[in-house]
Structure 1
């Protein structure tokens, strides 16, 4: 175990991943997702974003995938241009798949307070493995 600057012990795995890698990108500043007033009730919205890209915080290699946001709006709907700018902000951000999907869900819920929401990340194969991550609200 190594010690962080704070003196706290930092757990490191055999592959060299540590807490700094695990937390990378979770609290990074990102553009706000804007909304507009919803006019109807009881319907669902699915938004596919096939050009998601970010950076692996350990290797600094690019990650690619499709992020799908599926939700039932309540009072507000997500404004698509601001959502696009929000997602594009991940391009140079070091963040793991799991953290990105959960962060996107958190930010979507914060922006529009949906009845329910689901964010799915389907990430491109790398090294013979493909990951699909899903986070749900509530």
Structure 2
């Protein structure tokens, strides 16, 4: 009988409160049962929110997280709670986007990871933030992130 890959997870299958800030959020991982092959996994958070650190006003983004797993997969409930923890967190767009990418890269040690943070305009200017850990593997199909650039009233 194989070992339960969810053993030791603290949030999956239980009631878990939203962390009060990203530093307190617990990201969890599970073994990748397909670690012998390269493939792309994508998480999309079209309603990500944080707070402007200067004004306290809400900021909104459409996040697209792509990664090629190595030995580990992100446990999706822990990722959701981690992203929710930014709701009352004050940080600039660049800091939020790169913090998310670095926490995931540190935990998962993926073959490759990228994040696109497509932030909605404040003060009339959208800020898009992109981060990746290196060159993507050549044997993986990596689609475009599919988020249109901001066009205003077009």
**TM score, norm. by length of structure 2:** 0.69
- Secondary structure at the aligned position of 1:54 is classed as strand
C-alpha displacement of 1:128: 2.1
Tell me if 1:34 matches 2:24: no
In terms of fraction of residues, the more helix-rich structure is 1
More strand by share: 1
* Number of equivalenced pairs: 112
Structure 2 counterpart SS, 1:91? coil
How far is 1:30 from its partner? 3.1
Which runs of structure 2 are paired with 1:1-138 in the superposition (5 Å)? 29-40=23-34, 41-138=37-134
CA distance in 1, matches of 2:53, 2:118: 18
Give yes or no for contact 2:29–2:74 (8 Å, CA) kept in 1: yes
Secondary structure of the residue that 1:84 maps to in structure 2?
helix
CA distance in 2, matches of 1:63, 1:80: 23
Q: Which runs of 5+ in 1 are unaligned?
A: 1-26
Runs of 4+ more than 2 Å apart? none
Give the alignment's TM-score, normalised by structure 1: 0.77
